[in-house]
Each structure stands twice: as structure tokens, then as C-alpha cells.
Amino acid sequence: MAVAAVHPYPIDWNQPWNQPWRASGEAVAAALAQGQALHDALNGAGPAPVLFVPQQRLPAGTPYEQFIRDTRQCPTRDGLHDFFNGLCWIRFPQVKTRLNELQAQQIASHGIRPERGATRDAGTLFDENAALLAAPDPVWDALRAKDWETLFGRLRPLWGDVRLNVFGHALLEKLQQPRKAITAHVYRVPGHARTDSDLDVWLAHDLTASRLAEKPYAHLPLLGVPGWCSGNEDAAFYADAQVFRLPRAQTTAVQ
């Protein structure tokens, strides 16, 4: 009797943060379950601007980002981290290419230093931990202000008009074991970019070295998003000051 293949990374595709990744993710999962290596499974899941190769293809001492830029090959390790990184190359090819170009340009200009610098640091935050938010102005303003009571209380009905995509592959990896404290670096995107293709094009143009150096992020504990955790239907969910932190000025005033 044939034994059913088992996906090595069990993923609940019904979770709201996983749903947009389901089509290509399940294709890769099926190939993995049949015994393919992750890099081969990713190469078979859809077009990408890079060829996924084993991690051993990266020469010792060569920066990862520079290797991708020079060879159009993406070294890939087994595990959820590179699983989601590969899916992101497939879903957002222009954004991933742009982020890689920016990193490679910074390496070429400044070399590898103990500190990445503002642009490389912000680019890494985007690549690893960004979420993309299209939202009405009041929602964005309350989020930037960390006005949690307004954001998830009075403005809660407006979340029906919000579109939120988790982009960062490290963030997606963490969300496979969801915890209340998991926080995204949120980047605002326009409401007119409704499809993945539109969003890919818009972001690839919007992401510049100067824009990233501004660190244009808001911080959002993702399980606070309405519909993303059943517990947040109770207002007491947001009373956890270790997660839903007040701006420093407000914290000082309270003390």
C-alpha cells in the first residue's frame, strides 16, 4: 500500500496571513511531499527572476545579496524561512529584484561593515518583516500614533475597507506559530493597487534608497487585526501594554 506523502512544513492555509500565498505554496508543498529539494520545488512552482539553487552554491565570503545580483541565482536552505522567501520571489518578482538591487548597490558603495547603514537596515526590515497596508487615512493615522483604542475601537468598522498583505518571509515564518506579540513593520500602499501585479509594479518604483532610509514604517501587532484572532473581539485583548505599547511621550505622561 502506498504511503501518503507528508508536507515537511505543516501550514494552515486558512489563516488570513497564509491565504494569499496558498496557490504557489501548496504547489511547492506538494513537490516537497514527493521528496523534491526545496530549491527544485520552488523552480517548478512558477516564474521567478532568479533560479533557486542549493545554499552550497554561495561561495564562502561572498555577500548573499551580491551573489544574487551577479548570478541571478538565489541560494536556498531547507526550512520555512527560505520556503516563504522563495514564494515571495514568485509572487512579487519586481519588488524582490528591487530590494536586491538596493542591497547590492549599498554593498558596492560602502562594502560590508559591522553596521548595515540606514538604507540596508531598512531594506532588510522590509524584506524580512514588512506588511503592506492599504487603508483609509483615519486608520493609518491612528496606527502611526499607536492610538490602539481608536484604531481597534471607534475605527473598527473601517477595517472592512483595509487590505493587509504580509510580505516579509521571516514574519510569515513566525506566524506559523502565532503569538500575540508578533509585530510587523507596516508600509502603506495605495488603495488603487488591488492586484498582486499592480502592487508589485507600484512598490518596485516606490522603494528607493532615500525612501527606505526614512524608515517609513508603522508598528502593528498582527493578531490585533480584526478577524485575525478570535480573542481580539474583546476590548480587553488590547489592554496588554507589553504588546500594544503607547508612544513614549504618552508613557512618560502616565508615569
The amino acid that residue 26 corresponds to is: E
CA distances in angstroms from 43 to 5, 27, 80, 190, 238, listed in the order given? 20, 11, 16, 31, 42
Instruction: Summarize pLDDT for 126-169 with one digit per residue, the tens.
Output: 999 999 999 999 999 999 999 999 999 999 999 999 999 999 99
186 vs 82: CA distance, rounded Å = 21
- Contacts of 52-56 with C-beta under 8 Å, sequence gap 24+, read 52/76, 52/86, 52/89
Cα-atom radius of gyration of the chain, to the nearest Å? Answer: 19
197 vs 6: CA distance, rounded Å = 32
Predicted confidence at residue 8, as pLDDT, reads 75
200 vs 219: CA distance, rounded Å = 22
C-alpha cell at 219: 508598528
CA distances in angstroms from 157 to 186, 192, 227, listed in the order given? 20, 20, 12
Q: By C-alpha distance, which of 137, 155, 156 is closest to 227?
A: 156
Q: What is the DSSP string of 17-46?
A: TTGGGHHHHHHHHHHHHTT--HHHHHHTTS
Predicted confidence at residue 121, as pLDDT, reads 86
Number of H helices, E strands in the chain: 12, 6
Cα four-point dihedral sign 59, 60, 62, 64:
positive
Please state the domain extents for the chain: 19-123, 126-230
Predicted confidence at residue 4, as pLDDT, reads 42
Q: What is the DSSP string of 129-190?
A: HEEEEE--HHHHHHHHTT-HHIIIIITGGGGGG-EEEE--HHHHHHHTS--TT-EEEEEE--
120-136 burial, b at 16+ Cβ within 10 Å, e below that, comes to: bebbbbbbbbbbbbbbe
Predicted confidence at residue 249, as pLDDT, reads 52
C-alpha cell at 14: 486558512
DSSP label at residue 246? P
224 vs 243: CA distance, rounded Å = 10
Predicted confidence at residue 253, as pLDDT, reads 42
Average pLDDT per run of 10 along the chain, which is 255 residues long? 56 96 95 96 97 97 94 97 98 98 85 67 94 98 97 97 97 97 98 95 95 92 97 95 81 43
Q: By C-alpha distance, which of 23, 131, 32 is closest to 87?
A: 23
